[in-house]
Structure formats: C-alpha cells, structure tokens
Amino acid sequence: MTNKLTAAIAGGGIGGLATAAALAQRGWDVTVYERQDALRAVGAGIYIWENGLRVLEALGAYDEATAGAFRGTHFEQRDAQGQIIESAPIDTSKRLLTVPRSTLLEALKNACLRAGVKVVTRAEAIGATSRGELLFPNNETVQADLAIGVDGIWSKVRSALGLELLHEQTREGAIRTMIPAHPDDFGPQDQGKYIECWNGERRFLITPVSEKETYLALTCPYEDQAARAVPVDKALWAESFPQWKHLIDRIGEATVHWGAYSITRCRAWSSGRTAILGDAAHAQPPNLGQGGGMAMQNGLALAVNLEGVTDKRDIPAALERWESTERELIEHCQRWSILYGEVTYLPDEVRNRVVRGAMSDPWIAAQIFRAANHAPTGTK
Ligand SMILES: Cc1cc2nc3c(=O)[nH]c(=O)nc-3n(C[C@H](O)[C@H](O)[C@H](O)COP(=O)(O)OP(=O)(O)OC[C@H]3O[C@@H](n4cnc5c(N)ncnc54)[C@H](O)[C@@H]3O)c2cc1C
C-alpha cells in the first residue's frame, strides 16, 4: 500500500525526462509514456547554458551529461567573406557547454531510472483530460493524480485541453548533422570557438561537441529549396561557405531533415490536474539555444512547486503558482529568440551592423543572456 502521489507524463524527451526525474526525486510515483520504440534524441548537438547546467546538477545528471563536453571561449559571427563581424568572449562566470543530444538524453534517462521512474515506450498519448488522465488508442486511459504533456510542438495534450493560443512555424529552418572531428579542422585563430557564418539568408553554425564530433546546423528559409534538400547539396553549401568546405564535405547520411522552427504560446500551462511544458507549451526558435534549457528548468520548477502537496485536490493551485513564477522569464527568452532570428532577413551589410551593435550593447546582451544569468527554481 503506497500513498505516493502519481504522475503520468506524455513525452520522454529532454523536458519530460527532467520533469520525471525531479518529481520522482521528491517522492512521486512517475511513469513516462513515450511514443517512439525507445527513448531517443532527435537532432544532433545541443547548447546547454548555465541555467540548464544547474538543473542537470540538481537532478544528479550533470557529470554524465557533460562528460567530454566542449566548452567554447568565444561566440563568433562571420560574414560572407569569412570576416569576423563580432567575436564575443563567453563570460567565464557563466558556463556554456555543448554536447551530443544523445548524451544529454541518456544522462536524463539514467537520472530517471535511479529515481524509480517507469518508462513505457510505443505509447502515444492521443488526448488528456483536466482530471489527470492521459488517453491512448483503443479507449485506454491512464489515471494519475497529475498528468503532464511534454509531448513536443504538436502536443496532443495541449490540443485536448484547449490551451493553445498560438502555434506558428517560422520561414527559417535548419538541417542538423554531426560530422567526425579532425584535429586540424580549425586554424589557430578558430580554436575553442562557436562560429556562426552568414551568407544572404543562409547560415552555417559550427559547434564542436567533443573531441570526436562537430555539430553542424545549416539554416535557410523554406523557399530556398536547393539549400534545404537532403541529402545535402554539398557543392551548394560549400559555394556559400568556401572556408568550411572541408567540414561540409564530411556531411554523411545521418542528417536530420530541414525543419521549420515552432513558436507555441498558451493561454495557461495547466487545466485542473493536467499541465503542459517544454515545446508543447513554450517552443521557441533555437537562436538563443535555450528551448531545451527552458524545458528542463520548467520541469524542475514544476516539481519544486508541488513540494509539500499531499492531497491531489491541492495540485491545481500549485500548478497555478508554478506558472505565475516561471512564465515571465520563459516568455522573455522566447521573445528575444524570435527577435534574433529576424536579422536573417536583413541585407548582409545591414545585418553586420546590427549584429555588431547588438552584441556590444550591454542592455541587449543582458536581455539575451537573462535566462543564462538566472538561477532556476530548485537550483543553487
Ligand atoms: C534546430 C534546433 C536547434 C536547437 N538547439 C537547441 C540548443 O542548442 N539548446 C537548447 O536548449 N535547445 C535547443 N533547441 C530546442 C530544443 O530542442 C527543444 O526546446 C527541446 O527539445 C524541447 O524538449 P521537449 O521535451 O519539450 O520536447 P521534445 O524534445 O520534442 O520531446 C518530445 C518527446 O515526446 C514524444 N512524443 C511526442 N508526441 C507524443 C505523444 N503524443 N505521446 C507520447 N510521446 C510523444 C517525442 O517522441 C519526444 O520524445 C533546438 C531546436 C531546434 C529545432
């Protein structure tokens, strides 16, 4: 006989697993329902800023998630000629690490398993109710004290609860891939850097994630059909970014197809005893590298706000408290991430001036790095 409160979570991605671990570590009986046949990361590499790293520490997943990670010293933007537009040193008091997504997901999964979380795969939630229920095909219903939809941008839980205000897909999107890293990939002046190169509306982002692998993101608008084709047209991309032909030539078949970015906004993050978070509730374009960080920190914050709740009737009020403390920062980050993406559509010369001005303006930098500078709820 147990009197633990129960949580049923739809979605075993970054946000779902962080939430599951945080709840289970606080005594909840948690089950994650994932539609894939295994917990599997989609994507290639990922930036984790100070806020996300603190969450990983709080969940006991930091060491595993960051083993062998790359820690850049500068974030650099370059123009079509390969000239530096702006080279911003990364403040050493704030950590920024880049890792393979698979490493992050594995570390979160192991934190879940250590805390006793149960994982059910091939389980696609098709709906939910405000009474803590997740609905599955064949009229199957899972009843819990708390249900949570962390089921990504096309969230069925969000739709079923009627919480959606906006789900917009951007014109811009990215192809993502991982290539093997070679020791002579970067000249002496390029060592230790994250390098973002622009040429017209195409963007090429180079992110080392370990000594062995480099993550590449190839970004372009939907209308640029040749650039968004997979297999990647290497000659076309090398023509736009000739300095990086040696990396482009190494692009293999393990490439995530071009996908537009999603922006989601909801009238509320919960209804009764069912909540949504992560991309389901607050997806943002990846320009600040914070969508995953926000998903993890919001999952931890949810669990912290439920501390002390022993009666399921108190859950709706705790969820409202959670939303009222977390929403402002997350929406701030979402706004600035959208704004950053707008520079894509400026003529090259104008973009250069805007990027240079923005990166050297302390007020703008404070807005962009606000989430990274903030200690998330539940962390030290
Ligand atoms: C190009 C690109 C680059 C990015 N770079 C970064 C970065 O550097 N740093 C960063 O912090 N963020 C980054 N992000 C954002 C980040 O990937 C997301 O914000 C993050 O993955 C959100 O986590 P989530 O758990 O909410 O959703 P997801 O990671 O999408 O996970 C959702 C999970 O739910 C499962 N699922 C879906 N529907 C159902 C269902 N009905 N029932 C059961 N399971 C279901 C899916 O299979 C998946 O496992 C990037 C995004 C993009 C597109």
Query: How do residues 261-289 score in pLDDT, each as one tens digit?
Result: 999 999 999 999 999 999 999 999 999 99
Copy the structure tokens of residue 285. Answer: 């374009």
Residue with tokens 């890293």: 181
**Quick check: CB of 12 below 6 Å from ligand 1?**
yes
The conformation of residue 91, written as its DSSP 8-state character, comes to: P
Q: Looking at 22-31, 83-92, 212-221, 258-267, which range is the least confident one?
A: 83-92
Q: Is 133 in the pocket of ligand 1 (CB under 6 A)?
A: no
Cα–Cα nearest to 205, from 293, 288, 94, 262: 288
Closest ligand 1 atom to Cα of 173: 1
What is the 241 CA–ligand 1 centroid distance (Å)?
29
Using the Cα atoms of residue 199, residue 189, residue 288 and residue 125 in order, give the sign of their dihedral. Answer: positive
Ordered DSSP codes for 261-282: EEEEEES-SEETTEEE-THHHH
Q: 18-70: per-residue pLDDT in tens?
A: 999 999 999 999 999 999 999 999 889 999 999 999 999 999 999 999 999 99
- Phi then psi dihedrals of residue 23, to 5 deg: -70, -45
pLDDT band at residue 260 using 50, 70 and 90 as cut-offs: very high
Confidence of residue 380 (pLDDT cuts 50, 70, 90): confident
On the question of pLDDT at 17 being above 90, the answer is: yes
The pLDDT value given to residue 368: 92
- pLDDT, average across residues 74-92: 90
Residue 254: predicted pLDDT: 82
> In the prediction, which pLDDT does 42 show?
84
Beta bridge partners of 262: 169
Q: What is the pLDDT of residues 127-138, one digit of tens each?
A: 999 999 999 999
Q: Of 10-14, 31-35, 235-239, 250-254, which gets the smallest average pLDDT?
A: 250-254
Does the pLDDT of residue 2 top 80, yes or no?
no
Q: Which residues contact 222 (CB under 8 A, 6 or more apart)?
A: 171, 172, 173, 228, 260
Name the 3-class secondary structure at 377: coil
- Banded model confidence at residue 253, pLDDT cuts 50, 70, 90: confident
Q: Give, in degrees to the nearest 5, the angle at Cα 379 between 266 and 276.
A: 20
Of 250, 166, 268, 172, the C-alpha closest to 206 is: 250
Residue to mutate, 151, 175, 176, 257, ligand 1, most ligand atoms under 8 Å from C-beta: 151
**Given this model, what pLDDT does residue 59 score?**
98
Ligand 1 lined by 36 (C-beta under 6 Å)? yes
**Centroid of ligand 1 to alpha carbon of 13 (angstroms):** 6
Cβ of residue 341 lying under 6 Å from some atom of ligand 1: no
Q: Could you tell me the distance, in angstroms and rounded to a whole number, from the CA of residue 278 to the centre of ligand 1? A: 8
Asked if the model's pLDDT at residue 250 lies above 90, the reply is yes
d(C-alpha 202, C-alpha 321), whole Å: 42
The rounded Å distance from CA 41 to ligand 1 centre is: 8
User: Is the C-beta atom of 49 inside 6 A of ligand 1?
Assistant: no
Q: Which residue's CA is minimally distant from atom 27 of ligand 1?
A: 152
Q: Whose CA is nearest to atom 3 of ligand 1?
A: 286
- Report the distance separating Cα 352 and Cα 251, nearest Å: 28
Q: Is 299's C-beta closer than 6 angstroms to any atom of ligand 1?
A: no
In which residue are the tokens 């969000």 written?
Answer: 158
Q: What is the DSSP letter of 242?
A: G
Q: CB–CB of 352/79 below 8 Å?
A: yes
Written as one string, the DSSP assignment of 285-339 is -GGGS-HHHHHHHHHHHHHHHTTT--SGGGHHHHHHHHHHHHHHHHHHHHHHHHH
Where would I find the beta strands (DSSP E) of the chain?
A: 6-10, 29-33, 45-49, 74-78, 84-89, 96-100, 118-120, 127-129, 133-136, 140-143, 146-149, 164-180, 193-199, 202-208, 213-221, 255-266, 270-271, 274-276
Ligand 1 binding pocket includes 50 (Cβ within 6 Å): no
Neighbours of 108 (CB within 10 A): 30
Q: What is the CA radius of gyration of the chain?
A: 21
Residue 1 confidence (pLDDT): 44
**pLDDT digits over 161-202, tens only?**
999 999 999 999 999 999 999 999 999 999 999 999 999 999
Domain ranges of the chain: 6-169+261-368
CATH 2.40.50.140 fits 6-169+261-368, yes or no: no
What distance in angstroms lies between residue 92's CA and the mean position of ligand 1's atoms?
28
Q: Which atom of ligand 1 is nearest to the CA of 262?
A: 53
Q: Is the dihedral of CA 287, 290, 295, 298 positive or negative?
A: negative
Q: Taking Cα atoms as reference points, which of 24, 105, 98, 78 lies closest to residue 190?
A: 78
* CA–CA distance, 335 with 221 (Å, rounded to integer): 20
DSSP conformation class of 70: B
pLDDT of 144-167, one tens digit each? Answer: 999 999 999 999 999 999 999 999
3-state SS class at 146: strand
Question: What's the CA gap between 285 and 339, in Å, rounded?
Answer: 10
| 65 Ramachandran zone, left/alpha/beta (phi>0; psi -120 to 50) | alpha
Confidence of residue 94 (pLDDT cuts 50, 70, 90): confident
The CA distance from 299 to 305, in Å, is 10
Q: Which two tokens stand for residue 380?
A: 């030290």
